[in-house]
Structure 1
Amino acid sequence: MSDVVTFPARPDKLAPVARHEEIAVYGAVGPLTVALTRRTDGMAGLIHVVLLGSAIRLEVVATLPDDAKGRAIADFVGPAVVRSAELAETEFAGRPEAC
């Protein structure tokens, strides 16, 4: 049966997994969500503006200090990322052949 179905070899080490705690959600566009998170498994003192989606999973857009200045900047970056996703969605809907 091995000549019909070949299973991939298991990796020696599993890929590391980052754990994030949600602080705020800036918005959602289709299947994408933009949120402010803090890692709970390391990188203390930092917050992250992230883009969450089913295909991209979690993509860090910005990393900032976890203080009042960092939060103020994140509160500008997060909505800007949401707006960018909205504009991209509109553009793709108008020209589906461009996808």
Structure 2
Amino acid sequence: MTCRLPTPPHRLRPTSAGGPRRPSSFDAVVRSGGVERRAVARGRDIYAVTAPLAVEAVDRILTGRTRTAGVASAGAVFDAPGFLRALSPHITLDPRP
């Protein structure tokens, strides 16, 4: 899986509020056997994407909405479609073939 930002983090300049505020894009490509899936998630800035993601994950862990315990990938722990739907107010998801 690969993720990229449209602008490398070291090139982002802080705003007067103190942090970078640039649109962020996460491009994920997953390959399994001969099948490839790709999705792009976009948000208004990196913090507006990662903060709701972290809060949603912690909420699901604390309320027992997990599929496994211990060390595992997010895809193994959470219901991925439901997780992404919960983030829909904060990100735009663009599944691609």
Question: How high is the TM-score relative to the length of structure 2?
Answer: 0.29
From the two aligned structures, give the one with the greater strand fraction: 1
Question: How high is the TM-score relative to the length of structure 1?
Answer: 0.29
Q: Which has the greater radius of gyration?
A: 1
Q: Relative contact order (alpha carbons < 8 A, sep ≥ 6): 1 or 2 greater?
A: 2
